[in-house]
Amino acid sequence: MLTLGSASALFGQDSTNSVVVDKIVAKVDQFIILKSEAELNYLQYLSSGQDLRGDVKCRVFESLIINKLLLAKAEIDSVTVEDQMVEANLDQRMQVFISQFGSESRLEEYYGKTIEEFKEEFREQVRDQLIIQRMDDKITSHIDVTPKEVRRFFSKIPEDSLPYFSTEVEIGQIVHKVKQGSGSRKDVISKLREIKGKIEAGFDFGEMARLYSEDPGNKGKGGELGFWKKTDLDPDYVAAAMALKPGEVSDVVHSQFGFHLIQLIEVRGNEFNSRHILLRPTFSGKDVEHAAAYLDSIRKLIVVDSMPFEKAARDFSEDIVTSSNGGIFQDQQSGSTRIPMENVDTELFFILDSMEVGAVTKPLAYRTYDGTDALRLIYFKSKVPPHQANLGDDYQKIYFAALDQKRYLAKEEWFLKTKDEVFIQIDDEYAHCKILENEQ
C-alpha cells in the first residue's frame, strides 16, 4: 500500500543527506558519484527483491558509473532532450505528488516550498534522467528475449535463491469524465471573456494566468507552456493557437481539458510556444448523475450481458493510460499486470478489501491525474496468494528479469568499448570491483 511519498523518491533524487560521511568515490569527466549516492542505490537495490547473487554492491556501483558515462557520452555526441519534454515530465511527477497529498496547498505547506521551487530543484536532475534514458534506448531498445532464453535464465537461478512473492492482484478500471451542464459552461466562458477584457485594457496576460488559471503545472510561469510540437497537444488548442499572430490573444477555446484563453508567443518550425489561462466548469448534481447512469449502463453490459471487462474498457474508458491495456493497471516497477498489494494505491487498497475476485464496483468518484473530475468502475480481476517464483505463475516477471539482464550485459559491452573516450577515476574503496578492467 502506497503512503505519502517523499520528493526524493518521486524524482529519484540522489541523497546527500545520508548518515554516511560523504566523499567523492568516482569521477566520470565532470560528473561525480558520492559515497552516499552509491550507498543509497545499494540499499534500494537490496529492498527491490532483484537478483542478489554475486557482489551486488559492485554491480550497483558499476550501474552508476555507466549512467554517468551515458551522460558524458551524450555531451560528446550532442544528445539532448527538449525543454518541453523535461517540463512535461516534471509536471507529470508533480501531479502524482500532489495527488498523494490531496492538494497543492497541502503539499506546499508540508514541505515549505512552492510547486515552482520543487520543479526548479529537480529540473536538471530530471533532464539528466531523460538523457540517460535516451542514450540507454540507443543501446538496448532493439534487444528482446525469446521464451527459450527466459527458461534458460530461470533454470540458472538456484532453487534456494528463487524470490518469494507476496500477495498480488490484477485490477482494472473504466473511467468516465463528468460532463458539465450548459449553465456552468456559460459562467466559465463569461469569466474568461471578462479576463480577456482586462488584458485588452492593459493587464499582463501572465499576471492574469497567475491569478486565475486552474492549470497547476504552469500558472506559476504565467501560463507559459514552453515549446511543443503541434502534434503533441490537444488539436483544438493547437488549431486556435496557430490561428493567432505572436502576442495575439484568442477568444475562448474549448478543449478536452476545459476552456482557455491562449496567447501565441512564438512559432519555430513544427513547434510553438504559447501561454494560456485555463478554467474548468464546476459540476452540478445532475452532471454527476448523468455520468453515473452512463457507467451503470456499461457495468450492466459487463455483469449482466457478459461483455468482457477488457473489451468494455477499450471501447468506453476515457483513461488514456489504462484503456489500451483493457483497463488493467500495470506495476510501475515490473511492467506486470500483477501488482503486489503493498504497491497498490491507498484508495484502491480499501476498495479491494471489501470486494470479491471477479466483481465490478458501482460508479465511484475519481479525479484523473490532470485534476479532471470523473467516475470509474473498478474490476477485481484476480488475486494470487504468496508463493515462490515459478514459470507457470510468474512468466511475465521472469521475462522482464531476463530482458533486464540481457540489456544490462549489452550496456556492459558498450561500457567496455566506450570507457576510454572519457576520463574515469574510481576511489580505492571500490577498486576491488575492477570496473575499468576488461575482464571482471
Domains of the chain (ranges; CATH) run 7-159+390-433 (1.10.4030), 167-179+284-385 (3.10.50.40), 182-279 (3.10.50.40)
Residue 16 has pLDDT above 60, yes or no: no
Least confident of 8-22, 73-87, 346-360: 8-22
What number of residues does the chain have? 440
Alpha helices, DSSP H only, in 174-272? 182-200, 205-212, 235-242
319 Cβ partners below 8 Å, 6+ apart?
A: 173, 174, 175, 327, 368, 376
Residue 424 has pLDDT above 60, yes or no: yes
Sheet containing 364-367: give its strands across. 339-340, 168-177, 373-384, 364-367
Residue 342 has pLDDT above 80, yes or no: yes
Kind of pairing between the strands at 339-340 and 373-384? unpaired
Residue 161: DSSP 8-state = G
Tell me which range, 182-191, 261-270, 280-289, 340-349, is most confidently predicted by mean pLDDT: 261-270
pLDDT score of 49: 58
294 Cβ partners below 8 Å, 6+ apart?
A: 176
Q: Cα separation of 60 and 43, whole Å? A: 10
330 Cβ partners below 8 Å, 6+ apart?
A: 336, 337, 339
Which pTM does this prediction carry?
A: 0.56
Kindly state the average pLDDT of the residues 65-84: 91
Residue, of 438 and 331, whose pLDDT is higher: 331
pLDDT score of 4: 37
- Averaged pLDDT of the chain: 86
pLDDT score of 102: 67
Kindly state the average pLDDT of the residues 263-271: 90
- Using DSSP, state whether 277 is helix, strand or coil: strand
- Using DSSP, state whether 121 is helix, strand or coil: helix
Tell me which range, 285-289, 354-358, 365-369, is most confidently predicted by mean pLDDT: 354-358
Residue, of 16 and 238, whose pLDDT is higher: 238
Q: Cα separation of 157 and 401, whole Å? A: 11
Least confident of 131-145, 187-201, 323-337: 323-337
Residue, of 68 and 180, whose pLDDT is higher: 68
Kindly state the average pLDDT of the residues 118-137: 91
Give residue for cell 550497483. Answer: 60
Q: Cα separation of 17 and 261, whole Å? A: 44
pLDDT score of 331: 83
User: For 371-385, what is each residue's pLDDT tens digit?
Assistant: 678 899 999 999 999
pLDDT score of 207: 94
For residue 41, what pLDDT band results from cuts at 50, 70 and 90? confident
- Which three cell numbers, joined as nine digits, stand for 36? 552516499
Neighbours of 154 (CB within 10 A): 18
C-alpha closest to that of 420 among 126, 76, 45, 109 = 76
Q: Cα separation of 265 and 225, whole Å? A: 10
Give residue for cell 515549505. Answer: 112
Q: Where are the beta strands (DSSP E) in 210-291?
A: 224-229, 253-255, 258-268, 271-279
pLDDT score of 253: 94
Q: Within 13 Å of residue 404, how many CA atoms lie on the same side as its CB?
A: 12
For residue 5, what pLDDT band results from cuts at 50, 70 and 90? very low
Neighbouring-strand partners of residue 169: 339, 383
